[in-house]
Chains A and B, each alone.
Chain A
C-alpha cells in the first residue's frame, strides 16, 4: 500500500527539482500581490477557482417586464496552459423572482469559455497587461432564466498597476493599486424574433434587439498587507493586516440597435481578506442609475488559490513552455 504514497512523494520531489526558482504565481508583479476582484475580470493568468460568487440585486422592470429580485450564483475555474496563457470556464445559476404574481424562474445561464494571455509583466512597476477572448455559448443555459440562445464574443484588454514605484515622499500611497478591463460584448445575432400568443389569443411577433455593448470597469484597492510588509509596520493585528479594501466600478455602454446611450452600471465598495490558500470578499452593489437597479445589492465570494493548494498538480501550468 505504500507505493502510491511513495510515487506521490517522488512526483513532488521531481516537480521541485524540475521547477527552479522561477515559478510565478497568481496575481504577483514584483512585490505586488493583486487579489482576485469580485466584480470585474482579473488581469493576471492563474490557477484559481471562484466558488461560489453570490450576487443578489433588485432589478427594475422595463416595458411589460416587471421588476424582480435577482439572485445569481456562479463559479469560475481558471487553468494555466502555459505560464502566461490561461483558460477559464464559467458557469452560473440564476433565480428571477418577479415582483408581480408571475412565477419564479430559475436555471443555469450560458456557459462561458475564455482564453487570457498575459503578455506583459513589470516587476519594478508592478504592472500587468493582458488580452482575453471570451465565448458565451448560446443555448447552453435556460432561456427563461435569462440565458440567450445565441453566442456572444467578448474580446478584452486588461491591466493591473501597483503604485509601489511612487517616490519616497508619497510612500503612504504605495499600497494603492488599480486593475481594469475594457471589453467588447458582441452578440452574434442582432435580434431575436419570438412568436407569442397574446391575451386575445392572437399570434404576435416580438422582436428583441441585441446591442453591441462596450463593457468596462476598474477596481481601486489599498492593500494593508503591502503597507505592513513594504512601507511601514504600523502594528495592525493579525486579521486586519490581510485586508484589502477596494471599490469596483462596472459599466455597460450599449452602442447600437436602439439601446445607444442606455448605460447601466454599478459601484461596488467592499473588502477582501486574502489568506494563504483562499480569499474571501464582500461588496455592496450600488446601481449608478434607475435603469440598473433600485436598491443596494450584495455580492460575496470565496476564491481558492489553486497554485498554492496544489502546487505540483492542478495548480501549475500544463506546459512549462
Chain B
C-alpha cells in the first residue's frame, strides 16, 4: 500500500520534472498596470496586478491609497474569472499625485505574500 505522503511526494516530483504548471509556490508580483514606480499622464481607471501564481479570491486583497492614506479605490478587489493570476480594482477619479498600491494575497498552496508599490499621476496634459 502506497502511503498518501509517498504518493503526494511522487506526484509533486513528477510535476516538477515535467515542468507542469501546477499552481504551487509563493505568489509574487509579476507585473502591474500602472507599472511599479511609474509616472502616468492620464489618471488610470483601475489598477491591475498579475501574480506568478493563481490566487485564492477569498483571501486576496488589493487597496489603493493617496498620500494622506485615504482609500481611492472602489473596492473590494476581485480576482479575474478568466485569469486567476490577475487581481484588479477600479479607482475613483484620481487627482495628480502619488498613490500607493498595497496587496496581500494567498496563493492556492496556502502561502501568504504581501507587498506594495507606488505610481504617480503627473500634472501634465
Contact = CB atoms under 8 A, between A and B. Distances in A.
A20 B29 CA distance: 21
A30 to B, nearest CB: 7
A313 interface: yes
B2 A21 contact: no
Interface stretch (B35-43, B69-77, B79-87): B35-43
B31 to A, nearest CB: 7
Interface in A54-99: none
A312 B7 CA distance: 12
A18 to B, nearest CB: 9
Interface residues of A, number: 39
Interface of A: 4-5, 7-8, 11-12, 15-16, 19-25, 28, 30-31, 33, 123, 171, 225, 228-233, 276-277, 305, 307-314
Contacts, number: 98
A68 B35 CA distance: 53
B8 A19 contact: no
A256 B32 CA distance: 57
Given A28-B26, A277-B16, A19 B110 contact: yes
27 contacts: A4-B4, A7-B7, A8-B7, A15-B110, A19-B110, A21-B112, A22-B112, A28-B113, A31-B113, A31-B114, A228-B29, A229-B29, A229-B117, A230-B117, A231-B37, A231-B117, A232-B37, A233-B31, A233-B32, A276-B25, A277-B16, A277-B25, A308-B24, A309-B12, A310-B8, A311-B110, A312-B8
Nearest to A23: B110
A23 B32 CA distance: 25
Contact of A25 (B13, B111, B115, B116): B111
Interface of B: 1-2, 4-5, 7-9, 11-13, 16, 24-26, 28-29, 31-32, 35-38, 52, 59, 106, 108-117
Given A16-B110, A310-B12, A231 B26 contact: no
Contacts of B115: 31, 229-230
A223 B114 CA distance: 16
Contacts of A8: 4, 7-8, 11
Given A8-B7, A33-B26, A276-B52, 6 more contacts: A7-B4, A16-B110, A28-B26, A228-B36, A311-B109, A313-B5
B20 to A, nearest CB: 11
User: Which of A24, A305, A307 has the most B CB atoms < 10 Å from its CB?
Assistant: A307
B7 A21 contact: no
Contacts of A229: 28-29, 36, 115, 117
A230 B111 contact: no
A234 to B, nearest CB: 8
